[in-house]
C-alpha cells in the first residue's frame, strides 16, 4: 500500500469517526463536570480544554455563576468566622459528624478472630479422633444390629418351629419314629 | 509537585475508612460550605439544612463523590464550592417542584418517571473544544483541505493539523473505552 493510499484510508477512518461522534449522545458526567469547572476556576486547564469549558459556561449560566462564586468563597473574601457563627457552625458540624456515625453503623462488619497457627495440629487431631469415633460407633452399631437379629431369629425359631434336632430325636413325630417302630417289631 | 498532587492527609485517611478523619474534614470545610450555601439562602435554618445536604452528598455511597476528586486538577476548596453550589441548586429546584399544587401540574407531567433526568450532550460538545469541532466540521463535512481551513480561520496550517490530531485522539479514546 502506497503512502497516498494509506493517508486516504486514514482520512476515511477519521471521517467515519467524526460522523459516528456526531450521532452519539452521552449523559453529562457530573463528577467530570465538577472537576472541569473547578480546574477552570483555578486556571489549571490548557488552551483547548479551557476553550471547551468556556464554551460550556457560555451556554450554561448556572455553571458560569458557580465559577464566579469560587473567587468569593475561596479567595480574599473567604468566609469569616463571624459569618459562619451566625448560622450556628457548631450545630452544622455536629449534624454532619453524625452522618459518619450512621454510615459506619450501617456497614459495621463482625470480625471473627483468625484461628492461631497452632490450631492446625489440634484440628488434625480432632479430625482423626472424630473419624475413629465414627468408625467405633458404626462397628458397635453394626454388631448390635447383628446380635439383635440373631437373637430375634433364634427366638422366632424356638417359638414357632421345632428344631431339626428336636424333630430327629422326638419319638412321637420324628423321622426316627417309624424306624423305632420297625425296630420294635 | 508530588505534595501538591497528592490528596491532603485528612482526605486520604477519610477515604481509607478512618472514621475520626470525617470530623476533622467537617471542621476544616464546614465554613467554606456554609459560605457557598449562603450564596443562595440566608435563613440560618435553611443554611444548616442545605449544608447538611452537601455533607450527605459527599458521604453517599462510601464517599463516591469525594473519591472522584482529583487534586492534580483543582484545589479541594474550589471543588467543594462547585459541589456545594450544585447540591443547593438541585435541592432548591426539587423544593420548588414539590411546592407546586398538584392541580396545577398538567396530567402529562404526572406520568413522568420521578427519577431526575440526566442532561445529555452530543459527544463532540462533551469532548471537544469549539475550535476542534469547527476544524473537524470543515475538514469532513465541508470537505476542505488543511490549507483552506487554515486560511478560513486565519491560523497556521500546523495549528489545524495539531487540533485535528488531538480531537481524533480524544474521539478514538472515547470509543475505545466504550467498547473495551
Q: How far apart are the first and last CA of chain B?
A: 33
Q: What's the pLDDT at B2?
A: 41
Average pLDDT over residues A125-148: 87
Under a CB-based contact definition with an 8 Å cutoff, are residues B160 and B153 in contact?
yes
Average pLDDT over residues A119-137: 86
Nearest to B121 among A18, A25, A78 (CB): A25
The verdict on B40 touching A (C-beta cutoff 8 Å) is no
| Cell numbers representing residue B46 in the block | 435553611
Nearest to A39 among B74, B120, B164 (CB): B74
> How far is the C-alpha of A6 from the C-alpha of A173, rounded, in Å?
118
- Kindly provide the residue ranges of all beta strands, DSSP E only, lying in chain A, ordered along the sequence: 25-27
The verdict on B171 touching A (C-beta cutoff 8 Å) is yes
More confident residue, A17 or B101: A17
Angle at alpha carbon of residue B37, lines to A64 and A102, rounded to 5° = 125
Under a CB-based contact definition with an 8 Å cutoff, are residues B132 and A48 in contact?
yes
Phi, psi of A173 (to 5 degrees): -130, 10
Q: Please give the interface size between A and B, counted as residue pairs whose CB atoms are below 8 Å apart.
A: 183
Please give the ipTM for the structure prediction.
0.71
More confident residue, B30 or A27: B30
Local confidence band at A171 (pLDDT 50, 70, 90 cut-offs): low
Percentage helix, strand, coil, to 5, in chain A?
75, 0, 25
Rounded to the nearest integer, the mean pLDDT of chain A is 75
Nearest to A87 among B48, B85, B140 (CB): B48
| Residue B32, CA distances (Å) to B9, B58, B73, B82 in order | 19, 14, 19, 11
| Cell numbers representing residue B129 in the block | 473544544
More confident residue, A123 or A175: A123
Looking from the CA of A119 toward its CB, the CA atoms found within 13 Å total 4
Q: What's the pLDDT at B121?
A: 74
| Cell numbers representing residue B76 in the block | 479541594
- Find where cell 478514538 sits: B172
pLDDT at A170 over 80: no
More confident residue, A147 or B13: B13
pLDDT at B151 over 90: yes
Q: What's the pLDDT at A167?
A: 58
A 18-57: CB under 8 A from B: 18-22, 24-31, 34-35, 37-39, 41-42, 44, 48-49, 51-52, 55
- Find where cell 431369629 sits: A153
Looking from the CA of B73 toward its CB, the CA atoms found within 13 Å total 16
Nearest to B120 among A28, A73, A81 (CB): A28
Residues of A in contact with B74 (CB under 8 A): 35, 38-39, 41-42, 44
Local confidence band at B144 (pLDDT 50, 70, 90 cut-offs): very high
More confident residue, A106 or B35: B35
| Cell numbers representing residue A146 in the block | 447383628
Q: What's the pLDDT at B3?
A: 41
Interchain CB distance below 8 Å, A69 and B168 = no
Q: How far is the alpha carbon of B135 from chain A, nearest alpha carbon, in Å?
A: 11
Which bin fits B118, alpha (ψ -120 to 50), beta or left (φ > 0)?
Answer: beta
pLDDT at A68 over 50: yes
Task: Pick the range with the lowest mean pLDDT from A111-120, A135-144, B48-57.
Answer: A111-120
Taking alpha carbons only, the member of B136, B116, B117 closest to residue B125 is: B136
> How far is the C-alpha of B114 from the C-alpha of B100, rounded, in Å?
15
Taking alpha carbons only, the member of B10, B34, B13 closest to residue B24 is: B10
For residue B121, give the 3-state DSSP assignment: strand
Taking alpha carbons only, the member of B129, B31, B15, B38 closest to residue A36 is: B129
Average pLDDT over residues A120-146: 86
Q: What's the pLDDT at B4?
A: 45
Partners of B120 in the β-ladder: A27
* A-chain residue closest to B24, CA distance: A97
A 127-146: CB under 8 A from B: none
- Kindly provide the residue ranges of all beta strands, DSSP E only, lying in A20-81, ordered along the sequence: 25-27
B 53-92: CB under 8 A from A: 55-56, 59, 62, 65, 68-70, 73-75, 77-79, 81-83, 85-86, 89
Local confidence band at A142 (pLDDT 50, 70, 90 cut-offs): confident
Local confidence band at B105 (pLDDT 50, 70, 90 cut-offs): low
Under a CB-based contact definition with an 8 Å cutoff, are residues B19 and A100 in contact?
yes
More confident residue, B157 or A28: B157
pLDDT at A104 over 70: no
| Residue A170, CA distances (Å) to A136, A177, A179, A182 in order | 45, 8, 12, 16
Q: What's the pLDDT at A65?
A: 93
The verdict on A81 touching B (C-beta cutoff 8 Å) is yes
Amino acid at each position: 500500500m502506497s503512502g497516498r493510499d494509506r493517508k486516504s484510508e486514514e482520512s476515511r477512518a477519521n471521517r467515519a469517526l467524526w460522523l459516528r461522534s456526531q450521532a452519539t449522545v452521552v449523559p453529562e458526567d457530573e463528577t467530570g463536570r465538577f472537576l472541569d469547572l473547578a480546574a477552570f476556576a483555578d486556571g489549571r486547564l490548557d488552551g483547548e480544554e479551557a476553550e471547551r469549558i468556556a464554551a460550556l459556561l457560555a451556554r450554561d449560566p448556572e455553571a458560569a455563576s458557580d465559577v464566579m462564586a469560587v473567587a468569593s468563597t475561596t479567595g480574599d473574601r473567604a468566609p469569616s468566622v463571624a459569618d459562619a457563627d451566625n448560622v450556628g457552625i457548631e450545630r452544622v458540624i455536629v449534624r454532619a459528624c453524625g452522618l459518619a456515625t450512621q454510615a459506619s453503623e450501617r456497614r459495621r462488619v463482625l470480625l471473627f478472630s483468625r484461628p492461631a497457627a497452632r490450631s492446625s495440629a489440634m484440628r488434625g487431631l480432632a479430625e482423626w479422633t472424630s473419624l475413629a469415633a465414627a468408625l467405633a460407633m458404626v462397628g458397635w452399631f453394626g454388631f448390635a444390629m447383628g446380635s439383635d437379629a440373631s437373637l430375634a431369629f433364634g427366638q422366632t425359631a424356638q417359638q414357632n418351629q421345632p428344631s431339626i434336632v428336636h424333630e430327629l430325636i422326638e419319638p412321637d413325630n420324628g423321622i426316627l419314629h417309624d424306624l423305632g417302630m420297625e425296630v420294635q417289631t | 509537585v508530588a505534595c501538591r498532587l497528592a490528596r491532603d492527609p485528612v482526605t486520604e485517611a477519610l477515604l481509607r475508612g478512618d472514621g475520626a478523619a470525617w470530623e476533622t474534614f467537617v471542621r476544616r470545610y464546614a465554613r467554606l460550605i456554609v459560605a457557598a450555601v449562603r450564596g443562595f439562602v440566608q435563613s440560618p435554618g435553611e443554611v444548616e439544612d442545605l449544608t447538611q445536604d452537601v455533607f450527605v452528598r459527599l458521604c453517599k455511597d462510601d464517599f463516591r463523590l469525594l473519591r472522584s476528586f482529583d487534586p492534580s486538577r483543582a484545589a479541594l476548596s474550589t471543588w467543594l464550592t462547585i459541589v456545594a453550589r450544585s447540591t443547593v441548586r438541585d435541592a432548591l429546584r426539587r423544593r420548588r417542584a414539590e411546592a407546586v399544587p398538584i392541580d396545577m401540574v398538567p396530567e402529562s407531567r404526572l406520568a413522568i418517571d420521578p427519577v431526575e433526568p440526566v442532561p445529555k450532550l452530543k459527544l463532540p460538545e462533551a469532548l471537544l473544544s469549539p475550535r476542534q469541532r469547527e476544524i473537524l466540521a470543515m475538514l469532513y463535512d465541508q470537505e476542505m483541505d488543511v490549507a483552506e481551513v487554515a486560511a478560513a480561520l486565519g491560523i497556521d496550517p500546523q495549528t489545524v493539523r495539531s487540533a485535528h490530531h488531538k480531537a481524533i485522539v480524544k474521539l478514538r479514546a472515547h470509543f475505545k473505552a466504550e467498547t473495551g
